[in-house]
C-alpha cells in the first residue's frame, strides 16, 4: 500500500534476449552472433588470397629460372682470340716479322679476321684441319659460306709444316679457273692462326669419294666415262 491508500504490484523485468536474425521465408528467428561470423568470413577470404599469391609467385620464379637456363649460352670468343699455345718465345718474337711477310705475300687477298665466323669442323688431314665458316661482306646482310683451312694445333710450332702451308696458300691464290675450287682469300691476326679460305663444296670432294669407296676401288658417281676435263679451256 502506498501512503496506506493505494495498492501497488511489483512485477520482475523480463530477461534480455540476444540479437535475432530473421530467416527469409520463415516466421521464426534464429539467434546468431553476427560480428563473429563476419570476422570468420573475412579471415577465410584473406587466407585464400594470400595462398593464391604465394602459388603464383612460386610459379613465376620457376618459369623465369627455366627460361634463363634454356637461353643461357656459354660465352664464345672469336676464333682468332683463342690461345694456340703461343707461349713459345720463338713464335712470339717472330709474329711482327711474320705479319709483315704475310702482308707482303697476301695483301690483296687478305680478309679481316673479324669478318670471318668460324663454325663446325668438317674434316682434317695429315697437317691441316678444315672448318665451315662464313665471310661477311661489306654490304649489310651479305654473307658467303667458305671452307676455312688451318694447321693442326700439334703442327703449329713446326716451321716445316708452316712453310708448306704458306706455299700451299700462295699456290692456290695463283690459280683461277671455273673447273677448280675457287680461292676466296686468306685471314690472320698472327702467324699461328693464318687460315686459307676456299670455296665451300657442300657435296664433298674427290678425296672423300675415294675414301668412301676404298673397298671397291670404284667411284659411285654418275659421270660419263667419255667426258674429259680440259684445264686449258677458256670455258668449263
Annotated binding site for ATP: 149
**Dist. CA 221–CA 225, nearest whole Å:** 11
Q: Which helix (H) or strand (E) holds 96?
A: helix 89-106
Residue 164 contacts residue 214 (beta carbons within 8 Å): no
Q: Cell numbers of 6, please? A: 493505494
List the beta bridge partners of residue 195: 187
Q: Which residue is it, cell 520463415?
A: 26
What are the backbone angles phi and psi of residue 117, rounded to the nearest 5°? Answer: -110, 115
Residue 109 contacts residue 195 (beta carbons within 8 Å): no
Under DSSP, is residue 173 helix (H, G, I), strand (E, B) or coil?
helix
Q: Cell numbers of 98, please? A: 711474320
Please report, in range form, the residues annotated as the binding site. Answer: 149
Q: Which residue is it, cell 702467324?
A: 191
List the beta bridge partners of residue 151: 128
CA–centroid distance for 7 within its chain: 108
What are the backbone angles phi and psi of residue 23, rounded to the nearest 5°? Answer: -80, 125
Q: Cell numbers of 95, please? A: 709474329
Amino acid at each position: 500500500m502506498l501512503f496506506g491508500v493505494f495498492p501497488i504490484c511489483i512485477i520482475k523485468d523480463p530477461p534480455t534476449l540476444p540479437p535475432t536474425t530473421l530467416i527469409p521465408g520463415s516466421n521464426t528467428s534464429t539467434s546468431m552472433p553476427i560480428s563473429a561470423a563476419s570476422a570468420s568470413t573475412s579471415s577465410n577470404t584473406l587466407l585464400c588470397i594470400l595462398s593464391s599469391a604465394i602459388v603464383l609467385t612460386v610459379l613465376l620464379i620457376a618459369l623465369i629460372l627455366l627460361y634463363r637456363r634454356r637461353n643461357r649460352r656459354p660465352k664464345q670468343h672469336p676464333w682468332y682470340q683463342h690461345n694456340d699455345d703461343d707461349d713459345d718465345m720463338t713464335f712470339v718474337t717472330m709474329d711482327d716479322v711474320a705479319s709483315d711477310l704475310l702482308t707482303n705475300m697476301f695483301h690483296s687477298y687478305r680478309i679481316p679476321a673479324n669478318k670471318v665466323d668460324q663454325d663446325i669442323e668438317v674434316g682434317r688431314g695429315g697437317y691441316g684441319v678444315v672448318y665451315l665458316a662464313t665471310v661477311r661482306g661489306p654490304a649489310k646482310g651479305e654473307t658467303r659460306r667458305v671452307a676455312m683451312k688451318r694447321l693442326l694445333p700439334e703442327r703449329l710450332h713446326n716451321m716445316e709444316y708452316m712453310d708448306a702451308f704458306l706455299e700451299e696458300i700462295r699456290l692456290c691464290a695463283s690459280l683461277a679457273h671455273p673447273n677448280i675450287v675457287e680461292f676466296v682469300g686468306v685471314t690472320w691476326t698472327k702467324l699461328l692462326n693464318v687460315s686459307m679460305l676456299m670455296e665451300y663444296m657442300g657435296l664433298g670432294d674427290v678425296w672423300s669419294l675415294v675414301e668412301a669407296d676404298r673397298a671397291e676401288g670404284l667411284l659411285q658417281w654418275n659421270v660419263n666415262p667419255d667426258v674429259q676435263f680440259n684445264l686449258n679451256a677458256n670455258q668449263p
